[in-house]
Chains A and B, each alone.
Chain A
Amino acid sequence: MNGNSPQDGAPLLMVEGLRKTFRLPGGGTLTAADQISFTLPEGGSVGIVGESGSGKSTVARMLAGLERPDAGTVTVNGRDRHSARRGTRSRRDRLARAREIQMVFQDPYVSLDPRLTAGQCLRTALRLHGHPAVEDRIRSLLDRVGLGAREAEARPHELSGGQRQRLAIARALAVDPCILVLDEAVAALDVSIQAQILQLLAGIREDTGVALVFVSHDLAVVQHITDETVVMRRGTVVEQGPTDRVLRTPRHAYTRLLLTSVPHQDWDPSEVVRARAEAAEAEAA
């Protein structure tokens, strides 16, 4: 992908002991994430699962460099992403970091610049990174995500939700990243569109070898698209491991609770209520 050669045996992405605390308006503090560690091999796919307030989005934002961790490191290809002091980073450094990790946001209605057409949106990213053949690359990117010449001239408000999310993915790919962080990237979409985007992502992963960090509340989606899963709750990791193992034979009561909460045939929501009470008891013990 880009020039950095990974160190022998080291994973592409290594997250170690990440912590982020926010100051609350009332004077208190909220530990949004604490002791988060996981790795991601080249071309791999890891899911971060949790409910609202679990801190999964904070982790995603720290990976992308939008939040500065209070402690811990995010290492890509052996290089610490947060080593430089704030504001002292050179342009070259910023661009190199951008090529490590790109991000796709949840709501495609606000994650695109309303003033720019799809073509201009990609052109901005490509020019910033000094891409040689900008116009050709725009065409191939749009084509890759299933958008045509008509959409290239359209502004976000003229596109459907699915088309916007396709464009957001193309924008992330324009930078040619090693890792794509997707923060609830299919949650705001219609069911049939969600499936199209998942299929698109799987195809892109196969073609480009980009590694995925898939942040979601939806266990079924995570099972579908990831190899490894990290289950988060109230800022901490309660369980992690191969997706198949975590979702088939969950070890933590909370993971079991999440799994029983997913509606299925002959599902009884009152079982979930019981499981939740048990999980709370186990926690108290």
Chain B
Amino acid sequence: MTAVPAGLLPVGKRSRRSAGTTVAAGFLGLVVLAAVFAPPLAPYPPDAVDLSSSLVGTGPEHPLGTDASGQDLLSRVLYGARTSLIAPVLLLAFASVLGVALGTLAAWRGGWVDTLVSRATDVMYAFPGLLFVVLIIAVFGAGMTTSVLGLGLAFAPTIAKYTRSVALSERAKPYIDAYRVQGMGGARICVRHLVPNLARSIAGYLVVLFGEALMSLATLSYLGFGAQPPSSDWGLMVQEGQSAIVQGALLPALVPGTAIAAVVVAFNVVGVRAADRLGSRR
């Protein structure tokens, strides 16, 4: 009732929306390129300490200034893009393997299996994700691996919930019945035919989740649970830059902070459109 078909939107509105998406997608492309080509692009090694040029502002030597240890912020942010982008990918990959499996199982089997999975995911859902991860870290120790796996567990219920809902409607389609009538087993139908047909909409949903995943990982690193020094993870950089604010230098915290904000916003802009496109095709 509320969705307005794109064809009915005034022309100006439509093109403005897609212009925003194009800008966001272009920006993300640049960020990925920057991460890939960090070594040739970065003017200094990310961990090159130069105490003589501590907390230098922008200038020809250091375009974005330096931090307290005299490390070049541009170089660190470029290298940091690597962990900051790869870690959420790994997190979501782990979470979707779990979530898609559980969601599909719940939708396919129905009955008590569905009730069990749905209740379990609801409980997880209600529990603050970060708190859960902090508990895990308390048990297994801090670090990027624990953070990624822990947050993966925290993200899995969301994905399971989403998968369950799309799997339920896909499962009701007669082509799935046709496979059953052919004598195909349930596991094979799910793995070979049901899930592949859900892939598009799940992928769209993951794009939306990406920003949140990046943000959560950055938060963990900022709190000191995630990436450990001398990593150039953006969250960690914000934390390290924090003390420089007292000394009047904003750049060490502002540069990685802006990077996080810009990438998250861009992913949300692209994600909403991607979810629309991937989900509603066919």
Interface of B (DSSP majority class): helix
Q: A110-B174, A111-B175, A113-B175 are in contact. Are A129 and B196 (CB under 8 A)?
A: no
Instruction: Tell me which residues from 162 to 179 in chain B have a Cβ below 8 Å from any Cβ of chain A.
Output: 173-175, 177-179
Instruction: Tell me which residues from 141 to 196 in chain B have a Cβ below 8 Å from any Cβ of chain A.
Output: 173-175, 177-185, 193, 196
B188 nearest CB neighbor, chain A only: A128
In the complex, are the beta carbons of A101 and B184 less than 8 A apart?
A: no
Q: A113-B197, A114-B282 are in contact. Are A105 and B183 (CB under 8 A)?
A: no
How far, in angstroms, from A175 to B184 measured CA to CA in the complex? 12
A177 nearest CB neighbor, chain B only: B181
In the complex, are the beta carbons of B177 and A128 less than 8 A apart?
A: no
In the complex, are the beta carbons of B282 and A66 less than 8 A apart?
A: no
Of A66, A98, A115, the contact of B197 (CB 8 Å cutoff):
A115
- Nearest chain B CB to A97 CB, angstrom units: 6
How far, in angstroms, from A175 to B178 measured CA to CA in the complex? 12
- Nearest chain B CB to A175 CB, angstrom units: 6
In the complex, are the beta carbons of B183 and A114 less than 8 A apart?
A: no
B197 contact set on A, CB distance < 8 A: 113-115
A115 contact set on B, CB distance < 8 A: 193, 196-197
A103 within 8 Å of B (CB atoms): yes
A112 within 8 Å of B (CB atoms): yes
Provide the A37-70 mask, 1 if CB < 8 A to any CB of B, else 0. 0000000000000000000000001001110000
A73 within 8 Å of B (CB atoms): no
B186 nearest CB neighbor, chain A only: A87
How far, in angstroms, from A124 to B179 measured CA to CA in the complex? 9
In the complex, are the beta carbons of A98 and B185 less than 8 A apart?
A: no
A95 contact set on B, CB distance < 8 A: 183
In the complex, are the beta carbons of A110 and B175 less than 8 A apart?
A: yes
Q: A110-B174, A114-B282, A115-B196 are in contact. Are A101 and B181 (CB under 8 A)?
A: yes
How far, in angstroms, from A61 to B178 measured CA to CA in the complex? 11
Of A66, A94, A157, the contact of B177 (CB 8 Å cutoff):
A66
B177 nearest CB neighbor, chain A only: A66
- Nearest chain B CB to A227 CB, angstrom units: 24
Instruction: Tell me which residues from 59 to 96 in chain A have a Cβ below 8 Å from any Cβ of chain B.
Output: 61, 64-66, 91, 94-96
Provide the A228-252 mask, 1 if CB < 8 A to any CB of B, else 0. 0000000000000000000000000
In the complex, are the beta carbons of A105 and B174 less than 8 A apart?
A: yes
Of A64, A102, A107, A128, the contact of B184 (CB 8 Å cutoff):
A128
- Nearest chain B CB to A68 CB, angstrom units: 12
Of A96, A101, A107, the contact of B174 (CB 8 Å cutoff):
A107
In the complex, are the beta carbons of A171 and B174 less than 8 A apart?
A: no
Of A91, A102, A157, the contact of B181 (CB 8 Å cutoff):
A102
In the complex, are the beta carbons of A171 and B185 less than 8 A apart?
A: no
A98 contact set on B, CB distance < 8 A: 181-183
Q: A113-B193, A114-B197, A114-B282 are in contact. Are A105 and B185 (CB under 8 A)?
A: no
Of A94, A96, A105, A114, the contact of B178 (CB 8 Å cutoff):
A105
A279 within 8 Å of B (CB atoms): no
Interface centre among B181, B197, B282 (most CB of A within 10 A): B181
B181 contact set on A, CB distance < 8 A: 64-66, 98, 101-103
A259 within 8 Å of B (CB atoms): no
In the complex, are the beta carbons of A125 and B282 less than 8 A apart?
A: no
A87 nearest CB neighbor, chain B only: B186
In the complex, are the beta carbons of B177 and A105 less than 8 A apart?
A: yes
In the complex, are the beta carbons of A175 and B182 less than 8 A apart?
A: yes
A129 contact set on B, CB distance < 8 A: 182-183
Q: A65-B180, A114-B197 are in contact. Are A94 and B174 (CB under 8 A)?
A: no
- Nearest chain B CB to A104 CB, angstrom units: 9
In the complex, are the beta carbons of B174 and A111 less than 8 A apart?
A: yes
A61 contact set on B, CB distance < 8 A: 177
A125 contact set on B, CB distance < 8 A: 182
How far, in angstroms, from A112 to B173 measured CA to CA in the complex? 9
Of A96, A97, A99, A110, the contact of B173 (CB 8 Å cutoff):
A110
How far, in angstroms, from A101 to B182 measured CA to CA in the complex? 9
Q: Mind listing 19 A-B residue pairs with CB under 8 Å?
A: A61-B177, A91-B185, A94-B184, A95-B183, A97-B183, A98-B183, A103-B177, A105-B178, A111-B174, A111-B175, A111-B177, A111-B178, A112-B175, A113-B179, A113-B197, A115-B196, A129-B182, A168-B178, A175-B182
Lowest 3 A-B CB distances belong to which pairs?
A98-B183, A111-B174, A94-B183
* Additional pairs, 20, CB under 8 Å, beyond known A106-B174, A128-B183, A129-B183: A65-B180, A66-B177, A66-B181, A95-B183, A96-B183, A99-B183, A102-B181, A103-B177, A105-B178, A107-B174, A112-B175, A112-B178, A113-B193, A114-B175, A114-B282, A115-B196, A115-B197, A128-B182, A175-B182, A175-B183
